[in-house]
Chain A
Amino acid sequence: MELKRTAARFAKAKLSEDIITRDKICEFSRKGWLECAKFGLQSMVVPEEGGGGGLGPVDTVSVLEGIGLGCMDNGLLCALSAHIWGCVLPILRFGTEQQKKRYLSPLMDGALIGANAMTELEAGSDVYSLKTAAKKKKGHFLISGRKVFITNAPVADIFVVYVRTGNRKGMAGISCFLIEKGAKGFFVGKNIDKMGLRTSTMSEIVLDGCRVSDENLIGRYNSGAVVFNESISWERMGVAALQLGAIERLCNICAGYAKTREVFGRPIAGFKIVSDRIRDMELCLKKGRALVHRAAKARQCGRPAFIESAKAKLYVSESYLRCSRQALQIHGAYGYMTEYGLEREMRDAMASTIHSGTSEVLQEMIRKTRKVVR
């Protein structure tokens, strides 16, 4: 509880500056990024002996819940998620000693920004149909292909990129590489304008015979899918924890507003439909919290928590969208106005049902696990 409170206090004080203006002009907050690094967010999952915070999964989700509660800059949190789960974690869990030594410290202290590139034009939900390919040469690889919707790409320094190595189809023939911005044959596109999370940046990347040393391989050759599974599973849990905080923030805002906004001579909290909406939001929060903490506890016990994380992410992201709509409705026309921040919240929430596995894909995955495992 203390961790969550401290994180919420920090986030409220430092991370929401000028959010309405920055959302309008799609501005990523480098200042907020550095504040997060000072607070220890980028390093929290790295063990203490490696210079990090050494938090376990249960404490990590508590911190993230607090950050989501205090921070209104959801774009910044999206950027942080891509950095921590898509870049820091793969290096930490699968990287060589040399890679850890070279990259972890600047990724933790805010000097470098990380991104991860999996999605392609024709490989979104069906990620393992990706076509970006690496040709093996002596001591290096030549990688060609195109990745789309890459969070942080316009501002990132280090990219974790998944490519096909060899002729096998599906998940068996994929490897994971670290590529630095500025590598020969590596191009980053322009920032893409999008509906929500506008304070995070996104673009495509193009690899045109990009030369990458053997030393940049993360994890085993042809086993990049293992890296991706681990990374996405943590990401789902982390993203859900942040959104729990956002739901709690919406609950608080709505409960306060409903008590003070008077219509027909009484506070709107007195209308059953309004109070039902708020109760519904609180229920989402309670159920979502149970799911996120179940996933975190499973991880803490050393299990990959793949399905638990998928369940948490599915429920919380859908609830976040639902609650942001309820919050807007409770505020009437004021909610519809940019100044109140609720229309932005709803736009941001929409994205969460698409990235890190769409709701449909997660539903399908969960349905499949209901089959008997003997």
Chain B
Amino acid sequence: MKEKIRKFIIDNFMYGKGKLKDDISLFDSGIMDSLGFIKLLAFIEKTFRVSIDMSEVAIDNFDTVDEIVKTVSKKKRPGK
């Protein structure tokens, strides 16, 4: 899951180049803008077959690769 997410971010928001550390802030570093964020949510829903309710979204939960993995994993295992 982590690699898929990382690859998506690098391909879509970093022109397919460079490295992306697990704990770098995607928003503070300027990698992710508002449109990118919407693309990311759509990618996550499609790839990991989870449904994201916008009213529950906290931006901090999508700020780093690590946070995204944590958020998606939680979504895949409801109740845990």
Residues in A lying within 8 Å of B, measured CB to CB? 93-94, 128, 168-172, 219-223, 225-226, 229-230, 302-304, 306-307, 365, 368-369, 371-374
Chain B contacts for A222, CB-based, 8 A? 58-60
Interface size on B, residues (CB 8 A): 25
Judging by beta carbons under 8 Å apart, are A171 and B39 in contact? no
Pairwise interchain contact B28-A170, C-beta atoms closer than 8 A = yes
What residues of A have a CB within 8 angstroms of the CB of B54 in the complex?
A: 93, 226, 229-230, 304
Once the chains are docked, how many angstroms separate the CA of A217 from the CA of B28? 23
Q: How far is the CA of A230 from the CA of B58 in the complex (A)?
A: 13
Contacts of A171 in B (CB 8 A): 27, 33-34, 37, 59
Contact among B38, B42, B43, B58 with A229 in the assembled complex (CB-CB below 8 Å): B38
Query: Which of the residues B27, B33, B51, B59 comes within 8 Å of A226, measured between beta carbons?
Result: B59
* B residues adjacent to A (C-beta < 8 A): 7-8, 11-12, 25, 27-28, 30, 33-35, 37-39, 41-43, 51, 54-55, 57-60, 63
Q: Which residues of B contact A229 (CB under 8 A)?
A: 34, 37-38, 54
| Smallest CB separation, B66 vs chain A (Å) | 16
Assess the A225–B59 pair: CB atoms within 8 A. yes
CB-defined A-B contacts under 8 Å, sample of 28: A93-B54, A128-B33, A128-B34, A168-B28, A170-B27, A170-B28, A170-B33, A220-B59, A221-B58, A222-B60, A223-B58, A223-B59, A226-B57, A226-B58, A229-B37, A230-B54, A303-B42, A306-B35, A306-B38, A307-B38, A368-B35, A369-B39, A371-B12, A372-B11, A373-B42, A374-B7, A374-B8, A374-B12
- Compute how far the CA of A172 lies from the CA of B8 in the bound complex, rounded to whole angstroms: 20
Contacting residues, chain B, for A220 (C-beta < 8 A): 57-59
- SS class, residues of chain B in contact with chain A: helix
User: Are A374's CB and B28's CB within 8 A?
Assistant: no
Query: Whole-angstrom distance between the alpha carbons of A307 and B27 in the complex?
Result: 21
In this complex, what residue of B is CB-closest to A303? B42
B4 nearest in chain A by CB position: A374
- Which chain B positions have C-beta within 8 A of A369? 35, 39
Are the C-beta atoms of A169 and B59 separated by less than 8 Å?
Answer: no
Nearest residue (CB) in B for A174 is: B59
Residue on B nearest A306 in the bound complex, by CB: B38
Q: Do A172 and B28 touch across chains, with their CB atoms under 8 A apart?
A: yes
Residues of B within 8 A of A230 (CB): 54
Using known A-B contacts A225-B34, A306-B38, determine if residue A172 contacts B57 with beta carbons closer than 8 Å.
Answer: no
Q: Which of B11, B35, B38, B59 contacts A172 (CB 8 A)?
A: B59
Contacts A93-B54, A223-B57, A226-B54 known; A172 to B34 CB distance under 8 Å? no
Are A373 and B39 touching (Cβ within 8 A)? yes
CA of A229 to CA of B39 in the docked complex: distance in angstroms? 12
What is the CA–CA distance of A302 and B7 in the complex, to the nearest angstrom? 26
* Chain B min CB distance to A1 (Å): 31
Closest Cβ neighbor of A221 among chain B residues: B58
Which A residues are CB-close (under 8 A) to B33? 128, 170-171
- When chains A and B are docked, how far (Å) is the Cα of A277 from the Cα of B6? 51
Nearest Cβ on chain B to A168's Cβ, whole angstroms: 6
7 cross-chain pairs, A with B, having the tightest CB-CB distances, nearest first: A172-B27, A220-B58, A223-B59, A226-B57, A306-B38, A223-B58, A93-B55
The complex places the Cα of A172 from the Cα of B37 at a distance, in Å, of 11
Q: Within the assembled complex, what's the spacing in Å between the Cα atoms of A174 and B37?
A: 15
Residue of B28, B41, B43, B55 near A219 (CB, 8 A) is B55
Decide: A374 and B11 in contact? CB cutoff 8 A: yes
Having A172-B60, A223-B58, one finds 8 other A-B pairs with CB under 8 Å, namely A93-B54, A171-B33, A172-B25, A222-B60, A223-B59, A225-B59, A304-B38, A371-B12
